[in-house]
Amino acid sequence: MYLFFLVWVFMPLKESESVCTIPVWNQMSDVNRLPHMTQHKDGGGYQQVLPTGGVISLNEGGTIILTCSGCTSQNNLKFAESESSVTVTCKHSSLYYKGIRLDFEKDVKCKKLVCNSVKNTGSCGRSGTEYQIGYEVHDRDDVLTDVLSCYDHSSWIPLYAFHVVHGRNLEGAKQIPRPDFRKGTLDNGRIIADVFQQKNQTEIFKHLTGTDKYITHSSYLEKGHLAPQGDFVYPTSQISSFYYINVAPQWKSINNGNWKSVEYDVRQFANRSVSDVQVYTGTYDVLNLNGKNIYLVQDRYLPVPKYIWKIVYASLAPRKNGAIVLIILNNPYARKVEPLCRSICGPYGWGKDERSKFSKGHVHCCDYREFRLKVPFVPDLDVTEVLSGPNPKTFV
* Catalytic residue positions, numbered: 225
Summary count for the chain: helices (H), strands (E):
7, 23
C-alpha span between 23 and 233 (Å, rounded): 13
CB 47: neighbour CB atoms within 10 A?
17
C-alpha span between 202 and 153 (Å, rounded): 25
* 3-class SS letters over 281-317: EEEEEECEECCEECEEECCCEEECEEEEEEEEEEEEE
C-alpha span between 327 and 175 (Å, rounded): 25
At 318 the three-state DSSP class reads coil
Distances (CA, A) of 289 to 78, 206, 208, 306, 333: 55, 11, 9, 10, 9
C-alpha span between 200 and 276 (Å, rounded): 41
Q: Which residues of 294-309 are buried (b: 16+ CB within 10 A; e: fewer)?
A: bbbbeeebbbbbbbbb
Contacts of 166 (CB under 8 A, 6+ apart): 5, 7, 50, 233, 270, 276
Distances (CA, A) of 382 to 4, 376, 386: 17, 15, 12
Known binding positions for Mg(2+) = 255
**In a 10 Å sphere around its CB, with 0-12 CB exposed, 13-18 middle and 19+ buried, how is residue 36 labelled?**
buried
Cα-Cα end-to-end distance for the chain: 35
C-alpha span between 265 and 324 (Å, rounded): 12
Q: Please, what sign has the CA dihedral across residues 156, 214, 328, 286?
A: negative
